[in-house]
Amino acid sequence: MEEFTTIPTLPEPETEPQSAPSGRAAWLQLTYDILETILLSAALFLVINALTARVRVDGYSMLPTLNDGNFVLVNRLAYRFGEPERGDIIVFHYDPNQQDLIKRIIGLPGDEVRAANGVIYVNGVALVEPYIAELPAYSGNWQVPAGYFFVLGDNRNNSSDSHAWGVLLQEKVIGKAVFVYWPFSQVTVLDHFELLKANQ
């Protein structure tokens, strides 16, 4: 017959029941959690606001690229870590009312811009621009000095831009428009066009 030995078991340690936190402690914890959430949200908002801007397109000067009512995300740091390029869409302060406008960079400092016979030329090179609404009906010549840009709306004949009021001071640029985020049906990344590439 097999014999079985019984292994004695140790008594379980006595545990003291945990008392529920008092009403005062619970309210203090809740208040702390709320304040922590508010402070983190505020810090996140300030960081996002320092890096980006959100603007609403008002008008039709950038058709067909941008529609009236589009909301656009703007990279404020684009030109702190990179150089502006022809074809960039930028947002800037416009005098005298300090309203913000959105246009496309056509001429960089040192460029000579000419409009003639429905074509824009930069330094004598005709631009190929698949994004414009129609060919420009105006003509003129502009020299872009150091520290300035020559900007045009994609809706060339319905845009208040450099062909009407001259070159734009670079210091007035807020940032580079990079993304349309509203309405959802028009969400898109704003492509950069190498304006002179097709002609060089």
Which residues are known to be catalytic?
Answer: 61, 103
Residue of 181, 177, 189 whose CA lies nearest to 79? 177
Q: Are strands 71-75 and 168-169 parallel, antiparallel or unpaired?
A: unpaired
Could you give the CA distance from residue 120 to residue 137 in angstroms, rounded to a whole number? 11
- From residue 154, alpha-carbon distances to 64, 74, 103 in Å are 7, 18, 7
Alpha helix locations (H) across the chain?
Answer: 23-51, 162-165
- Count Cα neighbours of 54 within 13 Å in the Cβ-side half-sphere: 8
Q: Could you tell me which residues come within 8 angstroms of residue 20 by beta carbon, excluding any fewer than 6 positions away? A: none
